[in-house]
């Protein structure tokens, strides 16, 4: 077994995870992307809600609570990722709230900045960070799906494949095995999310600013 075999297998597993959970993926994308546009185009209506968040973010950077180093950026985003994962898995509405709030913040924060400047300072790392957060929420929703299907299997599964009546422990084992692929998919997707966050943090800490300034200098 060589590296290519495992890489091919991993890609296949990821593809299956996305395809089999395509509706949850679409839901996660919409819940994040729609608030971005709302935050951007309805900024004046959201000022009283979003200004405290933006001011807190700016203050944290100013006083050093949040620094633009690789480790600080990664840990901050990873904390949000964990909250999305846990919030979506255990309390779906909490996960939806975190995803929506981050989308609103991203859109609102850019509402007072010229679009081209905003995009060149967001896109270099954002093309990795935004999908990472969406995938974190998706992995949590998949865990929630597993929990619901596991409970459903315990409640409604009466007989095993041979027609024998099952006790509670047997039904729990059967339901777990029958739905365990969801756990595997959630884990794989969360690992992918973490890798994307590592890449995003490295780019944001080291490359975003020089790339953005270099791009803007072409038009100055």
Helical spans, DSSP H, in the chain: 3-20, 22-41, 43-62, 70-90, 92-109, 115-156, 168-206, 208-217
Residue 33: CA count within 13 A, CB half-sphere: 8
Q: What is the pLDDT of residue 171?
A: 84
**Res. 1: pLDDT tops 60:** no
Q: What percent of the chain has pLDDT over 70?
A: 94
Q: pTM value?
A: 0.90
Neighbours of 16 (CB within 10 A): 14
**Res. 30: pLDDT tops 70:** yes
Cα–Cα distance for residue pair 6/97, rounded to 1 Å = 36
The model's pLDDT over 99-144, given as tens digits with 9 standing for 90+, comes to 999 999 999 999 988 999 999 999 999 999 999 999 999 999 999 9
Domain definitions of the chain by residue range: 21-217
């Amino acid at each position: 077994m060589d590296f290519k075999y495992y890489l091919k297998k991993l890609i296949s597993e990821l593809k299956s995870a996305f395809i089999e959970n395509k509706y949850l993926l679409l839901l996660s994308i919409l819940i994040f992307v729609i608030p971005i546009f709302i935050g951007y185009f309805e900024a004046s209506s959201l000022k009283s809600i979003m200004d405290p968040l933006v001011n807190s973010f700016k203050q944290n950077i100013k006083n050093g609570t949040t620094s633009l180093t690789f480790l600080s950026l990664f840990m901050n985003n990873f904390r949000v990722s964990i909250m999305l994962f846990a919030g979506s898995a255990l309390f779906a509405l909490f996960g939806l709230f975190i995803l929506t709030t981050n989308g609103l913040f991203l859109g609102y924060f850019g509402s007072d900045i010229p679009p081209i400047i905003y995009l060149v300072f967001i896109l270099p790392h954002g093309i990795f960070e935004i999908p990472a957060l969406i995938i974190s929420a998706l992995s949590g929703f998949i865990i929630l799906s597993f929990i619901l299907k596991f409970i459903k299997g315990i409640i409604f599964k009466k007989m095993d494949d041979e027609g024998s009546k099952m006790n509670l422990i047997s039904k729990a084992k059967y339901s777990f095995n029958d739905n365990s692929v969801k756990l595997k998919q959630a884990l794989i997707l969360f690992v992918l999310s973490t890798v994307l966050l590592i890449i995003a943090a490295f780019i944001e800490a080291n490359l975003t600013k020089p790339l953005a300034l270099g791009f803007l200098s072409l038009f100055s």
